[in-house]
Each structure stands twice: as structure tokens, then as C-alpha cells.
């Protein structure tokens, strides 16, 4: 790959710039660099090892460590007895080395003394059984005793370190997750429902409890769904999921609030988990100063499978979209992860690719779990920067250092924006609702997979996509893609209609607009009917192995006569104002519309009635991109497995060319005037090794004059 540093010496030519967007401020103002480092758990080690760690961190180009994630019992071995002295030393060592610390609150690892003394702090499972002490994140979200203890230790940490030169930000808890079914949480659920519905009559109507005689006559009769209890009231199940997510947000607000009270200017974050279903990230994001997430895609498949790369890109885009700002990849494994059934090794180059992939999608930091591999206990074989071999010349350590060196050269990219013209809707509440209902198929509903199938069409073209939920403002996008939007939250139809009316293009699919936010089916035409210019009569669920065909009859968005295979779900619609672009090829609904377009205001709404093979999704979306003038990061066709992702800095675009395949690839870009970070003119063809990467710069004339570094 072209050597990466940020000397921009040559004379650049004028080039295309994406929609101008101001550069964001650095996430940590005193460290305006790409963060590189990760979870450091020194309480496992002796002071000589700390000294060795300090030396090795220098060699690995680490500038940031996350400290104290599981340190509660090491900081407070018994209630009220505090032992911060070891942490003082580590903080001082980090400050002396010029590194910043993401100081964690330790609530993920409740001490054994706390569980023994305050048993209601322990979580209760869906079976109603209180768990015993052990593992981690094993606490009740409501327990007043636990919340008081959490606030106390957070306050102590903030008071002690708020002015410490090493402190960069607070890392609140760790991977919040799970549900508690204790009496206190159930009572909180009833309180939450009272606020939402006001009275039981409204709740009963929303839940359609008259069917099967489920009518509640007193609030006290309502229990959390699932387990051995109620599983038949969809509205209740959906509300419990909303409540469980809100409970976590409430807990986070208290915990981070304790820090903010003492140290209001120190940024707070917590590490999210991609598409983890229990916590709706859109609900917690407003209370986070910056977004951070943990990514462990590795080794769920063979190295030649592109799926984990496209999923990871999607998840990065989601995390960037949460605040429309740079985020931090808070954790990834420098080597293999310890929970997959097969723990294959990361291939050469793949580590640098993984790090630059995050940056390409908007990360301003790449960090690991963990710095030094534990000698024992549950994560003893999880990959770490310093492995059991304890060597800095080991492959993993060297690749980490390589990435660190490259990140050090990317100060110009810090804060660079990533404006998008496409929004792809992936919505938590919709996902819960789809997974819950008993129709039209229980197998292979695959909401996420369907959204990813749409995402990959953009990814392979190097087109930037914002991944948003259905509550977000859509103005400013050219294209909104909303696959399987089964549940329509209040206000969504109005927002979609306004977007299309104003000139936008909406693409949606089968299984959209069936139920309202309480999961009640719409009666009469779906609220999407007018916008789509059609009404749905029935939906056919196909058995495994059964298929239909979609045959194109139009010649603008699809090639006339093109045939694609359809499976899983085929919706049978009647057009009202829409035109049919393709029709079904067989079965009793042969000839009926399978793809439609409705002109609405100055925009258009495209409807795809069946789940079609990937080539259909690619062809349709690529045509739409051409029609709407949505272009990828670079001109030229990208070979399979390659994406190019752009970030927009001060007057220049940074282009990250990522070879996510396990084969060497030649990339021919049809654009002149690109330079590499050395300032050398780019010749037009790049040969990237398997999992290789390159960074190119497109400059606006004159913008690089006087560029620093
Ligand atoms: C998660 C956790 C870490 C560690 C890693 C690796 O992301 O946050 O503490 O357990 O997984 O297993
Ligand atoms: Zn509880």
C-alpha cells in the first residue's frame, strides 16, 4: 500500500468534493489525534509488569488506555474502604507517557461483598429465580441499594481524578445489557405503562386484550411477558422490550449523572454493541457525549466471506449516524475472539484493514480488548496486544504497532465528516415487532439480513450510507431505503410522505406498514397506501426451496425482460396510482405487480413486493443511484470485495480503499488528480494484497496550500 503519513506536498488538481460539511472538533480536545489503545486491566499484574507495559505501549504506538472497567473490588475491597493508590500510580504513569485515560466506572463487576450484603442488587431471571453472585453485568437495573453504591464509587472516582492530567473521558460501565425480572423492575414496568397509557382501558384496547379474554382489570395483574407467563399479547411484549431498553438508559443516566455532577466538562460515553437487540442505541445516544462501540466480527466465518466486513461497515455507519459525528471503536480483538466455536486467526493485513475500515466509516479511534492477555479465568485465550508469549516481535503485536503508526499519521482525518445522500432505515422497535408476530413466516424473517442485502449494494459502490431508525429527520437525503418497515411508529408516514413530496426517492418492500406502534393491524388500506399508490391484498409465504420470478417490464430502472428469482415472501398488491415496473412470473399471481413506482409530489416511491435475489437489489439500487446522481467515493468500477469510503476534511477528501477479500486485487480508478499521503501522484491503478488498504487524497485546487505537517 502507499505509505501512510500526512505530508501533502505535491500540487493537487481540482477534484470532486462531496457535500461540504464542517470538520468536527476532536472527541477529546486535549488529544486531537486518532485514539489508539484499549482496555488495560493492571490490577491483574505486579508493578514490574506495569513498567514493562509502559515500555511496550510506547512500541505499540498506544496513546489511550481504558482503565478500571472491572476494578470495583480492587478499589473498594469492603464497603467504605477505598484503595485508590494503585490506580493513582497507573494514572501518573499514563500522564508521564502522554497518554490519555478513559476512566471507567466499575459497575459491570459488582464485588462479592456487595451481593452478599445487598441481595436485591442481584438480577432475577425470566424464570423468577434470583441469580447467585458471579459472572458480570449481573445486577438489577432498579435496586436502590445497587444504584446508591454505583453512584458512590462513580462520585469517588470523579472527585479523585477530575483534574488528573491523564483523564480524557469517562467510560461508563461496560456493555450494558440484559433484563431483570425482579419485583422492583416489574413494579417499575407498571409505572412506565401508567405513564404511557394513563388508564387501563386505553392499555387494554392497545393490547387487544378482549381476544382470548386477556383483559386486565387492575394494574397489579400486569407482569413482564415471557418465560412461564404471558406470551400471547404482542403489545405487552413490545412494551416490555421498550421498557427494558429504557431501564438501561435510566440506569446509565444516573451513573453518568454522578460523574457529570462532579466533573461536568469531562466527556462521558459507554460502549455499545452493534445491533445488540436489548438496548435501542437511539435512546441512549442523546445522553452520550460521543458514541463508542465494540466490534467482534471475526471468525464467525471463513476469511473469504465478505459478510462480516459488510456487517461491520454497516455497524460503523450506524454508530456514526447516532450522532452524525465521529465515534470511537472502543473494543476489537487484536487477534481472535474467545467465544466463537472456531477461533481462526486474523489473516496478515486484516488487522490494519479492520482499523482503517473503522476510520473510513467515521471512527476517530481504534481500541482493543485487551492490552495484556490474562493468565487465567474466562478470557485467558482471548486475543490481546501482548499475548502470553510476551513478545513485541510477535505478529499480532507488530500489526498493532503498524496500525498505531498509521493512525499517528492521520491527524488531518480527525474530525473529518462523512456526509451521506442515502439513509437506510434499521429500526429496533420494528425489529422486535417482526421477530415477535406469528406471521407470515416464523422461519427466516431475517430483518437484519434483508437490510444488509440492501446495504451491501451501496457498500460495493463506495456510496456513503447513514443507518438510521424510523424516527430520524429524512430531509437532506436523496434516497431513503426502508426494507420491511412492518411497524409504523407515530409520525413516520407523515415524515416519509413529506420527504417524497419534496423530491425524495423512497424504496420500501413487502411486509411494510402492517401495524401501528402498539402492534395493532391497520384496518382498511395501510397508511403507506397513498404514498405507494397501491394496496396489499394478501401475502404469500413460500416454503423453503419454492420460488417465483420477477420479470421486468420497464426499461429505465430495470432492464426490460430481466428475470430474477423471488422467494420467502411475495406480497400481492393492486396498484392505484403506481405503475408496475415488473411482475410475477408464475403461480396464480403471475402477471401481477412485483415492483412498482408511484410519483408523489415531486418525488417517487418504489415498492418491491417480494424478497428477491441479491442481483435484483444491486441492479435496482445501482439504477436508482445513477438516476439520482448519487456517486461513490471514486469514479470507476470497484472489483468484488473492494469498497472505497470517503471522509471529508478541510477542503479535501480522504479516500480509504479497503480490500476486504482474501485475494490480491487490482483497483483501477477512473479519476485523475488523486495523491497518496506522501503527496505522490496516484497512477490510476493500485495493486492491493489480500486484505490490503490504501489511503488517497482528493484535493480541491488550492486547498492544500499551507497544509500543516
Ligand atoms: C466484550 C467486553 C470485554 C471483553 C470482550 C472480549 O466486548 O466488553 O470486557 O469481554 O468482549 O471477550
Ligand atoms: Zn430488578
Among 637, 319, 658, smallest CA distance to 469 is for 319
Measured from the alpha carbon of residue 189, the closest ligand is: 2
Query: Active-site residue among 331, 354, 421, 429?
Result: 331
How far apart are the CA of 73 and the centre of ligand 1, in A?
A: 19
Among 586, 608, 597, 609, smallest CA distance to 538 is for 609
How far apart are the CA of 39 and the centre of ligand 2, in A?
A: 28
Query: Active-site residue among 76, 175, 354, 406?
Result: 175
> Hey, how many other C-beta atoms are within 10 angstroms of the C-beta on 582?
29
3-52 pLDDT tens trace: 332 222 232 233 333 445 789 999 999 999 999 999 999 999 999 999 99
Measured from the alpha carbon of residue 138, the closest ligand is: 2
Sheet holding 674-676, edge to edge: 642-648, 652-659, 693-699, 674-676
Measured from the alpha carbon of residue 270, the closest ligand is: 1
How far apart are the CA of 201 and the centre of ligand 2, in A?
A: 27
User: Environment class of residue 613 by beta-carbon count within 10 Å: exposed (0-12), middle (13-18) or buried (19+)?
Assistant: middle
What atom in ligand 1 is closest to the CA of residue 175?
Answer: 8
Among 86, 41, 39, smallest CA distance to 64 is for 39
Bond before 216 cis per omega within 30 degrees: no
* Ligand 1 mutation pick, 70, 71, 331, max ligand atoms within 8 A of CB: 331
pLDDT at 298: 55
Question: Between β-strands 534-541 and 563-575, what pairing exists: parallel, antiparallel or unpaired?
Answer: antiparallel
Does the beta carbon of 234 sit less than 6 angstroms from any atom of ligand 1?
Answer: no
Question: Between β-strands 563-575 and 610-612, what pairing exists: parallel, antiparallel or unpaired?
Answer: antiparallel
The residue whose C-alpha atom lies closest to atom 7 belonging to ligand 1 is 294
Among 60, 67, 659, smallest CA distance to 396 is for 60
138-180 pLDDT tens trace: 999 999 999 999 999 999 999 999 999 999 999 999 999 999 9
* Ligand 1 mutation pick, 136, 379, 380, 383, max ligand atoms within 8 A of CB: 379
Q: What is the CA radius of gyration of the chain?
A: 26
Among 466, 470, 674, 503, smallest CA distance to 604 is for 503
How far apart are the CA of 273 and the centre of ligand 2, in A?
A: 22
Contact by Cβ (8 Å): 15, 23: no
Does the beta carbon of 270 sit less than 6 angstroms from any atom of ligand 1?
Answer: no
Helix (H) or strand (E) holding 628, with range, is helix 614-628
463-476 pLDDT tens trace: 999 999 999 999 99
How far apart are the CA of 369 and the centre of ligand 1, in A?
A: 6
Does the beta carbon of 331 sit less than 6 angstroms from any atom of ligand 1?
Answer: yes
Does the beta carbon of 175 sit less than 6 angstroms from any atom of ligand 1?
Answer: yes
Distance CA 379, CA 394 (A): 20
Residue 613 bears catalytic tag: no
The residue whose C-alpha atom lies closest to atom 6 belonging to ligand 1 is 369
Measured from the alpha carbon of residue 333, the closest ligand is: 1
How far apart are the CA of 143 and the centre of ligand 2, in A?
A: 6
pLDDT at 300: 59
Residue 331 bears catalytic tag: yes
Contact by Cβ (8 Å): 107, 72: yes
Q: Please list the residues that pair with 674 across neighbouring strands.
A: 698
How far apart are the CA of 79 and the centre of ligand 1, in A?
A: 27
* Ligand 1 mutation pick, 135, 136, 294, max ligand atoms within 8 A of CB: 294
Angle at 348 (CA atoms; ends 343, 350), nearest 5 degrees: 75
Among 63, 135, 12, smallest CA distance to 410 is for 63
Does the beta carbon of 293 sit less than 6 angstroms from any atom of ligand 1?
Answer: no
- Residue whose grid cell is 496486544: 385
Residues of the chain under the 70 pLDDT cut: 1-20, 298-301, 700-709
With H, G, I as helix, E, B as strand and everything else as coil, classify residue 676: strand
Does the beta carbon of 280 sit less than 6 angstroms from any atom of ligand 1?
Answer: no
- For CA atoms 106, 107, 108, 112, the dihedral sign is positive
Measured from the alpha carbon of residue 145, the closest ligand is: 2
C-alpha cell, 306: 465478505
Does the beta carbon of 379 sit less than 6 angstroms from any atom of ligand 1?
Answer: yes
Among 550, 532, 548, 546, smallest CA distance to 594 is for 550
* Ligand 1 mutation pick, 174, 279, 368, max ligand atoms within 8 A of CB: 174
How far apart are the CA of 115 and the centre of ligand 1, in A?
A: 22
Question: Between β-strands 479-482 and 422-425, what pairing exists: parallel, antiparallel or unpaired?
Answer: parallel
> Hey, how many other C-beta atoms are within 10 angstroms of the C-beta on 114?
23
Among 409, 418, 402, smallest CA distance to 355 is for 402
Amino acid at each position: 500500500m502507499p505509505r501512510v503519513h500526512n505530508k501533502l506536498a505535491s500540487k493537487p488538481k481540482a477534484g470532486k468534493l462531496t457535500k461540504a460539511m464542517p470538520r468536527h472538533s476532536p472527541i477529546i480536545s486535549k488529544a486531537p489525534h486518532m485514539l489508539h489503545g484499549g482496555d488495560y486491566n493492571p490490577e491483574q499484574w505486579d508493578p514490574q509488569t506495569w513498567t514493562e507495559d509502559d515500555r511496550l505501549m510506547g512500541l505499540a504506538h498506544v496513546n489511550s488506555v481504558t482503565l478500571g472497567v472491572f476494578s470495583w473490588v480492587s478499589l473498594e475491597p469492603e464497603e467504605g474502604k477505598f484503595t485508590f493508590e494503585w490506580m493513582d500510580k497507573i494514572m501518573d504513569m499514563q500522564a508521564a507517557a502522554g497518554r490519555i485515560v478513559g476512566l471507567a466506572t466499575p459497575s459491570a463487576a459488582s464485588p462479592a461483598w456487595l451481593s452478599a450484603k445487598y441481595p436485591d442488587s442481584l438480577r432475577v431471571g425470566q424464570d423468577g429465580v434470583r441469580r447467585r453472585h458471579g459472572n458480570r453485568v449481573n445486577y438489577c437495573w432498579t435496586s436502590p441499594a445497587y444504584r446508591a453504591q454505583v453512584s458512590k464509587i462513580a462520585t469517588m472516582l470523579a472527585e479523585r481524578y477530575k483534574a488528573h492530567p491523564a483523564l480524557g473521558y469517562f467510560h461508563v460501565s461496560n456493555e450494558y445489557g440484559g433484563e431483570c425480572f425482579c419485583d422492583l423492575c416489574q413494579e417499575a414496568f407498571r409505572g412506565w405503562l401508567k405513564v404511557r397509557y394513563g388508564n387501563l382501558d386505553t392499555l387494554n384496547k392497545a393490547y387487544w386484550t378482549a381476544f382470548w379474554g386477556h383483559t386486565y382489570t387492575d394494574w397489579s395483574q400486569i407482569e413482564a411477558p415471557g418465560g412461564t407467563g404471558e406470551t400471547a399479547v404482542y403489545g405487552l411484549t413490545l412494551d416490555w422490550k421498550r421498557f427494558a431498553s429504557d431501564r438501561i438508559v435510566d440506569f446509565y443516566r444516573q451513573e453518568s449523572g454522578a460523574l457529570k455532577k462532579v466533573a461536568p466538562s469531562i466527556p462521558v460515553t459507554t460502549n455499545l454493541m452493534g445491533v445488540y437487540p436489548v438496548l435501542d442505541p437511539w435512546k441512549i445516544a442523546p445522553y452520550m457525549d460521543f458514541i463508542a462501540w465494540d466490534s467482534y466480527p471475526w471468525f464467525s466465518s471463513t476469511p473469504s466471506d465478505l459478510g462480516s466486513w459488510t456487517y461491520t461497515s454497516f455497524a460503523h455507519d450506524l454508530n456514526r449516524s447516532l450522532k452524525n459525528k465521529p465515534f470511537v471503536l472502543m473494543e476489537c480483538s487484536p487477534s481472535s475472539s474467545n467465544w466463537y466455536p472456531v477461533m481462526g486467526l486474523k489473516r496478515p493485513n486484516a488487522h490494519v484493514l479492520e482499523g482503517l475500515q473503522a476510520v473510513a466509516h467515521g471512527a476517530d479511534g481504534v481500541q482493543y480488548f485487551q492490552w495484556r492477555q490474562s493468565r487465567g479465568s474466562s478470557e485467558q485465550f482471548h486475543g490481546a496486544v501482548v499475548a502470553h508469549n510476551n513478545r513485541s516481535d510477535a505478529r499480532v503485536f507488530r500489526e498493532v504497532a503498524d496500525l498505531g503508526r498509521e493512525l499517528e499519521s492521520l491527524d488531518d482525518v480527525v474530525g473529518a465528516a462523512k456526509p451521506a445522500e442515502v439513509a437506510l432505515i434499521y429500526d429496533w422497535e420494528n425489529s422486535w415487532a417482526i421477530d415477535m408476530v406469528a406471521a407470515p413466516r416464523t422461519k427466516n424473517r431475517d430483518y437484519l439480513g434483508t437490510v444488509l442485502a440492501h446495504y451491501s449494494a451501496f457498500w460495493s459502490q463506495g456510496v456513503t450510507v447513514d443507518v438510521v431508525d424510523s424516527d430520524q429527520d429524512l430531509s437532506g437525503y436523496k434516497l431513503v431505503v426502508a426494507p420491511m418497515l412492518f411497524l409504523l411508529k407515530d409520525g413516520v408516514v407523515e415524515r416519509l410522505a413529506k420527504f417524497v413530496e419534496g423530491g425524495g426517492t423512497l424504496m420500501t418492500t413487502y411486509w411494510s406498514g402492517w401495524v401501528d406502534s402498539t402492534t395493532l393491524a391497520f384496518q382498511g388500506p395501510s397508511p403507506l397506501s397513498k404514498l405507494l399508490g397501491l394496496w396489499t391484498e394478501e401475502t404469500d409465504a413460500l416454503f423453503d426451496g419454492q420460488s417465483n420470478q420477477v420479470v421486468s417490464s420497464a426499461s429505465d430502472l430495470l432492464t426490460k425482460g430481466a428475470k430474477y428469482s423471488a422467494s420467502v415472501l411475495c406480497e400481492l398488491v393492486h396498484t392505484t396510482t403506481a405503475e408496475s415496473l415488473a411482475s410475477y412470473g408464475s403461480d396464480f399471481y403471475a402477471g401481477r405487480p412485483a415492483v412498482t413506482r408511484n410519483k408523489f409530489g415531486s418525488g417517487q416511491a418504489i415498492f418491491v413486493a417480494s424478497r428477491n435475489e441479491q442481483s435484483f437489489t444491486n441492479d435496482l439500487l445501482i439504477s436508482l443511484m445513477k438516476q439520482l446522481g448519487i456517486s461513490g467515493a471514486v469514479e470507476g468500477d470497484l472489483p468484488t470485495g473492494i469498497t472505497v469510503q470517503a471522509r471529508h476534511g478541510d477542503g479535501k477528501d480522504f479516500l480509504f480503499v479497503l480490500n476486504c477479500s482474501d485475494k490480491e486485487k487490482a483497483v483501477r480508478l477512473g479519476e485523475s488528480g488523486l495523491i497518496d499521503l506522501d503527496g505522490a501522484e496516484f497512477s490510476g491503478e493500485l495493486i492491493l494484497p489480500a486484505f490490503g488498504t490504501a489511503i488517497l487524497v482528493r484535493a480541491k485546487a488550492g486547498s492544500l496550500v499551507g497544509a500543516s505537517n
